[in-house]
Amino acid sequence: MSSGFTSLLIIAVGAQLALQAPINSALGQHVGKLAASFVSFLIGTSILLILVFFSGEAGSLSALGDVPAYELAGGLIGATYVATATFTVARIGAGAVVAATITGQLLSSLAIDDFGLVGVDAVALDGIRTLGALMLLGGTLLVVGQGKPAGEKPAARVPAGQKPGGSRVQWRAELPSIAAVFGAGLLVGFQHPLNGLLSESAGELGAGLTNFLVGTSFLLFLVLVTGRGPKLAGVRGATAWQFLGGLIGVITVAAALSAVSVVGAAGLTAALVTGQLLGSVLIDRAGAFGLPVRLLTARRLVGTMLLLAGTAACVS
């Protein structure tokens, strides 16, 4: 398969990945946001478990007893990110979630490359990559600072002497959600290198399954200690499409593991990011999965272009 065709497929995979947080958020209306993240991981774990056994790679799982504990952290990172995105997407929109994620992920990836962390060969931070990082920050600010969703009335004019409100107040209200997704994105930058190290011992599917098993166990622990276990009974009221978040995660993991040898790590990142951005913009514009409609304004379009340009510079 050619690298060009593979890149197009990964762009499509990135676009479907943008659906995961809104779908999990919709499931959360029945079982709660945290329980929805657990259900998503549980479904993904079940699918990967079947794939591992039918592929004949189950024997490679015996090597997991010899791997360092830190190589299992990818599952914790994945679970933390999925839960964070599920909680925040309804508040700040799919586009903002993707923008903050990309910025955090690529900035931490630049640091990993520069210092040669997590078994990655050191790549010095040059001027082009620094410019790319600045573009990412600028693009994120433009996308997440979009203002009110379409259909909301504009804020009333503020009389002299009073404090301003409107979009500035909304920005302050959304800042914790944006910061949470950005922080989770920083962690995601470490997930792929950690999973790569794990795959050297357990194989690609084995590493993916282990990643999901660890994440599922972590989310189950959180569901139980926070007393949200009884809410899981609400899954009976959910519709079939609201369970697709786990399948989306599996498709992404499997596609990434298969494509990285064809297009390289940088090409994989660029294609996934492009797909995520395109998918998230369309989701916001359509108001899909019950999310508020967020129009593709000139400011949002410029921000998206900056994110794409910054990504290209960072992975060059």
pTM: 0.81
pLDDT for 25 equals 92
**Which positions ≥6 away from 114 have C-beta within 8 Å?**
122, 123, 124, 125
pLDDT for 62 equals 79
pLDDT digits (tens, 9 = 90+) for 198-219: 888 888 888 889 989 999 999 9
Residue bearing the bigger pLDDT, 243 or 190:
243
**Which positions ≥6 away from 303 have C-beta within 8 Å?**
99, 138, 139, 140, 141, 142, 143
Query: Under a CB-based contact definition with an 8 Å cutoff, are residues 30 and 190 in contact?
Result: no
Structure tokens at 79: 């679970």
Query: Under a CB-based contact definition with an 8 Å cutoff, are residues 86 and 37 in contact?
Result: yes
pLDDT digits (tens, 9 = 90+) for 137-188: 888 778 776 545 555 554 444 455 545 455 565 667 778 899 999 999 999 8
pLDDT beyond 50 at 301: yes
Rounded CA separation 126/66 (Å): 37
